[in-house]
Amino acid sequence: MRLEGVRGLVCDVDGVVHAGDRVFDSAVESLNAWMHGGLRVVFLTNNASRGPEELAARLQQDGVRMTPDQVITGAMAGSHVLARTVDPGTRVLVAGSAALDRAVRDQGLEVTSDPIEAGAVVQGYAPTVTLQLLHDAAHAVSRGATWVATNRDAGLPTAWGVAPGNGAYVDAVARATGREPLVAGKPETGSYTLALERLGLTAGEVAGIGDRLETDVLGANRAGLRSVLVATGVHGWPEVERAAGEGASEKVPDHVVDDLSQLTFG
């Protein structure tokens, strides 16, 4: 399948380049060939468990020839939204990874572990998130703290199947408090704005690639990118047909491929 007029890509990571420890060789080979040919690529992930350097190191280990400045993570998007929502002196409870903690501090905000003094909560995926931390997040949110979620992906692709993602933990806090968070990552357009700025291209020159209809495809469609679903992760043809049949046009991709080797650009 050839996409004409595309000069850049916004590419998801989990379920597209790898799933847990499993690397999709065809994706690595395709990405390297495209970048060698001059295609600009930014890796945009909702996963907030790692910083850009860590994720770049993982992609390089997978065999992708890229640099950390090509990465935008859920932690970066979440901290970006948070810093533009709260007052500078607001103390933030971080319900997530060390990478999310660093990203919040990099925005000049103070981090606290005390749910009573927290004026804001930012929630992102981390395998180390404990039930106590969810309790603390819910406590702060119920007291009126500003609440930002890096994303609401319900599941996370792994080598053995789908694990609970950040959305599952966010839903727990939402059910407990009766509140809903501001969402920073895909499918919200803010993360795509960051990606387009990094690429130096307009939306019409860029394709968005991912494995989820409700985040990658919906986000690309909302942002005006050409949307491509790759069926190596969570969703495939059955889900596309279901979305089309239900009239959920925003979640229907412009293109569907079985793996990235089926794509070329002109």
Q: Give the residue numbers annotated as catalytic, written as ranges.
A: 12, 14
Picking from 14, 31, 20, the residue whose alpha carbon sits closest to that of residue 265 is 31
Tokens of 118: 């927290």
d(CA 195, CA 238): 29
Residues 6+ positions from 129 with CB-CB distance below 8 Å: 95, 96, 169
d(CA 58, CA 62): 6
Picking from 16, 97, 111, the residue whose alpha carbon sits closest to that of residue 51 is 97
Count of CB atoms within 10 A of residue 259's CB?
Answer: 15
CA dihedral 227, 230, 236, 241 (to 10 degrees): 30
3-state secondary structure (DSSP) of residue 35: helix
Alpha helices in 37-73, H assignment, sequence order: 52-62
